[in-house]
Structure 1
Amino acid sequence: MSVVYRSQAMYGAYFNNTFTNVLVYYIFLLLLLLISPFLFIWELITNLRSCFQPIENMSGKVVLITGASSGIGELMAYEYAKRGACLVIVAIKEPESRLEQVAERARELGSPNVLFLFADVSKVDECRIFMDETIRHYGRLDHLVCNAGIASLYSIKTDVTKFAPVMDVNFWGSVYSTHFAIPHLMRTGGKIVVNASSAGVLHPPKGGFYNVSKSALISFYESLRFEVSPTITITILTLGYIETNLITAKSLTNGIGVGVRLKKDFRSVLPTMGAEPCAKAIVNGVCKGATSITEPRFVKGLFFIKFLFPELHRFYLSLYFPSKSRKN
């Protein structure tokens, strides 16, 4: 015990003193930079090994995808369909919903059975119902893809109460679905895929509550994986800007947070990745057992800069997102 107390006293002396606290940080940073070539090689080897990982046979397995009427959710449904998976696709019922057409297209691409259900994932009872319906129809669940989400732009001039649906759909919608899926995934040794977004790490300006909802997802599922592993594999997606309707000026301007106006689509000013290759990379990675997937890959480098060099991170964000208050 005396050794523990001495150790605590030593650390307390370092971290309670301003100079030594800063010194320890820079020594640690220097050591990290010195070993970074080895970390780079480790990352390279890990990625090369993943190329030779066995791919899960999805034929006849059951995949439930929320937010599947458009965007990444729709395209992931098609990728699973090509692999012979049985599908349950879920989306909120809206006049312009294409869920039935997505189901028909998935059947054409090879899915032996597609069940489409309308539900609002922000409502816990509706999540329970579509999960029960899935088990009633198929008797099992192998992959749960928590993809449903809504985008928003935040402004301090907008009524803050308008943003409650962002957390309800993006965060609670995934948590509710996961809660009811876990007992079934435990029986099949299944997988949970959660679309958390790189915004949850990089916190781009005007993201506001969208960033918060994605950060919450990352925290929740990183913690959850220790409770359900190794029986259930959790894959967290931290995607950059993907060419879907969510990043268009029209979609963002007409959505929650209408006090913010965009003149151009994000794709015209920021590096973006096509939605189809992104969906293919996601499903391929999930079927190989990946626990995290970032597309496009260069975004991982931005994570590194964000945590180690925050001033640099804020500098290049200010180039893309200049502050209006700075101009006045």
Structure 2
Amino acid sequence: MEYILNSMMNVVVPPASMVMMAFAWPTLSFLRAAEWAVKTFFQEDMENKVVLITGASSAIGEQIAYEYAKRKANLVLVARREHRLFGIRENARILGARQVLVIAADVVKEDDCRRFVSDTISYFGQLNHLVNTASLGHNFYFEDAVDTSIFPHLMDINFWGNVYPTYAALPYLRQSHGRVVVNASIESWLPIPRMGLYAAAKAAVINFYDSLRYEVNDGVGITLATHGWIGGDMSRGKFMLEEGSEMQWREEKEVSLTNGHVGEFARMMVAGACRGDTYVKYPTWYDTFLLYRVFVPDVLGWTFQLLLSSPGPRRHSLLPDASIAAGRPLLLEAPPVGKPATTSPRRKPATTSPRRAE
């Protein structure tokens, strides 16, 4: 009986749902537009409020700091390499930030997360927005990875690097009826080759925050920002794994991302967070592929095979040259725009056993 019922539902529900959606779409679009207009008019005033940004020396994190600075917020900038934050702090002050606190910390260490949240409360007495921009991408075929020790680090940065700061900040965000703003990615549901581990981690992030949204109800807002292509020209970039007290990702050439899509995405994130938007998407046309994945996944698969499959031989290395990359940045913390990244001798990129990643 159950088999018969499910068989009938498989036939009836999809077309019936499509018909209902077609009729409801104009009304829903009008309601969404009206809601957007109301939220824009009554958007949150960030003057003198406190915004904590993790991964603040990354390209996205830096631009988000500047957007909040224009709104005259107080900023707390968190990154592992503190020296990269000093220039961003000065720029943020010029743009209008009231006070800017710089803290060196590692978002994959729970104790560090508790510390920088505690320092924020001790210094400012409140926390209004927590912005998680920690992200670490990759560009290699899963079966070609030489050193599997990188796998846990990708999950640490992309998943636990969001969970730990949120866990530490949540009680204070409840007190201020604040908001968590999350930098996610379209790969959380769009299956792009050579980014499987990154995509899996981002999917975990999306599902975690969607579940948390219902747990906190209206006590804390959550804005999930997903982006597609926002990178710059990386045709000559090379990436290496550097040994030291902690594993670091370092870029050999300066990549200016300030005036392009990264800045636009940052503006959309901050504007969406201040409006109280649940989701921010850039660009929005990527959503079309979601329909294909649900209803005609074979078409999506054929498209990727045609457009994204690498015609050349695979490179058997952990960190391939960026010349074969699809254009997505691999850095969590990019060097400040306008200052070339310092270089150091290459340290066995395919064989180094990483200890920490950010």
Give the TM-score range, shorter chain: 0.7 to 0.9
User: What's 1:77 paired with?
Assistant: 65
User: What's 1:134 paired with?
Assistant: 120
| Residues 193 and 309, structure 2, Cα contact 8 Å, conserved in 1 | no
**CA distance in 2 between partners of 1:114 and 1:300 (Å):** 37
Equivalent residue of 1:98, what SS? helix
User: What's 2:156 paired with?
Assistant: 168
Among all aligned residue pairs of Structure 1 and Structure 2, give the percentage whose two residues are the same amino acid: 36
Q: Check 1:230–1:117 CA distance in 2 against 1; reply closer, same or farther (3 A cut).
A: same
| Residues 91 and 148, structure 1, Cα contact 8 Å, conserved in 2 | no
Greater RCO (Cα-Cα under 8 Å, separation 6 or more): 2
**Moved beyond 6 Å, runs of 4+:** none
Correspondence 1:275 to 2:271: no
**CA distance in 2 between partners of 1:28 and 1:234 (Å):** 31
**CA distance in 1 between partners of 2:153 and 2:266 (Å):** 26
Equivalent residue of 2:228, what SS? coil
| Residues 228 and 283, structure 2, Cα contact 8 Å, conserved in 1 | yes
| Residues 152 and 252, structure 1, Cα contact 8 Å, conserved in 2 | no
Following superposition of structure 1 onto structure 2, how do residues 12-23 of structure 1 map, counting pairs within 5 Å?
Answer: 12-15=3-6, 20=7
With the length of structure 1 as denominator, give the TM-score of the two structures: 0.83
**CA distance in 2 between partners of 1:195 and 1:162 (Å):** 21
Answer with 59-68 or 41-50: which moved more. 41-50
Aligned-residue offset at 1:231: 0.8
| Residues 236 and 292, structure 1, Cα contact 8 Å, conserved in 2 | yes
Following superposition of structure 1 onto structure 2, how do residues 96-175 of structure 1 map, counting pairs within 5 Å?
Answer: 98-155=84-141, 156-158=143-145, 159-175=147-163
More helix by share: 1
**CA distance in 2 between partners of 1:220 and 1:293 (Å):** 17
In structure 1, list runs of 5 or more residues that go unmatched.
1-9, 257-272
**CA distance in 1 between partners of 2:24 and 2:229 (Å):** 26
Per-residue Cα deviation, 1:115-155 (whole angstroms, up to 9, x for no partner): 11111111111111111111111111000011111111232
**CA distance in 2 between partners of 1:48 and 1:168 (Å):** 38
Correspondence 1:64 to 2:52: yes
**CA distance in 1 between partners of 2:98 and 2:3 (Å):** 62
Equivalent residue for 2:305, pick from 303, 315, 318 = 318
Aligned-residue offset at 1:249: 5.1
What is the number of residues matched between the two proteins?
292
**CA distance in 1 between partners of 2:293 and 2:166 (Å):** 30
Q: Check 1:252–1:14 CA distance in 2 against 1; reply closer, same or farther (3 A cut).
A: farther
Equivalent residue of 1:24, what SS? helix
Equivalent residue for 1:193, pick from 160, 178, 181 = 181
Equivalent residue of 2:181, what SS? strand
| Residues 143 and 193, structure 1, Cα contact 8 Å, conserved in 2 | yes
Answer with 193-202 or 247-256: which moved more. 247-256
Following superposition of structure 1 onto structure 2, how do residues 198-213 of structure 1 map, counting pairs within 5 Å?
Answer: 198-213=186-201
Aligned-residue offset at 1:227: 0.9
Equivalent residue of 1:202, what SS? coil
Q: Check 1:11–1:34 CA distance in 2 against 1; reply closer, same or farther (3 A cut).
A: same
Q: CA RMSD in A?
A: 2.3
In structure 2, list runs of 5 or more residues that go unmatched.
243-259, 315-358
Equivalent residue of 1:87, what SS? strand
Following superposition of structure 1 onto structure 2, how do residues 164-313 of structure 1 map, counting pairs within 5 Å?
Answer: 164-243=152-231, 248=234, 253-254=239-240, 274-313=261-300
**CA distance in 2 between partners of 1:320 and 1:207 (Å):** 15
| Residues 83 and 110, structure 1, Cα contact 8 Å, conserved in 2 | yes
The amino acid of 1:51's aligned partner reads A
